[in-house]
Amino acid sequence: MKFECDCCGACCRNIRLSKFYSAEMDRGDGVCKYLKNNLCEIYSERPIFCNVDAYWEKFLADKMTREEFYGMNYIFCDELKSLT
């Protein structure tokens, strides 16, 4: 099972809304500086908090099911999409 991202870029265009994203990723307007043409330039080396599956495995596997975490992420994703 793997998180199904539709690559809409909404999360990367709204990093100011998350406490996980450091100022070093913000290009100054709340958008990730690694977002180019709606795709992540550092996808294969992205931080763990940008990787739903790796984040769940490392920090949440003993706290909730993968399906629960995916569900939360899909809800938040839809909320981010509604902002654009």
With a CB cutoff of 8 Å and minimum separation 6, the contacts of 2 are 53
The first and second tokens of residue 18, run together, are 């998350």
pLDDT tens, position by position, 27-75? 999 999 999 998 999 999 999 999 999 999 999 999 999 999 999 999 9
28, 21 contact by CB (below 8 A) = no
14, 80 contact by CB (below 8 A) = yes
- Rounded to two decimals, the pTM is 0.85
The first and second tokens of residue 69, run together, are 């975490």
51, 80 contact by CB (below 8 A) = no
Give dist(CA 21, CA 16) in Å, integer: 7
What are the strands, taking DSSP E only, across 1-84? 35-36, 39-40
| pLDDT confidence bin for 12, thresholds 50/70/90 | very high
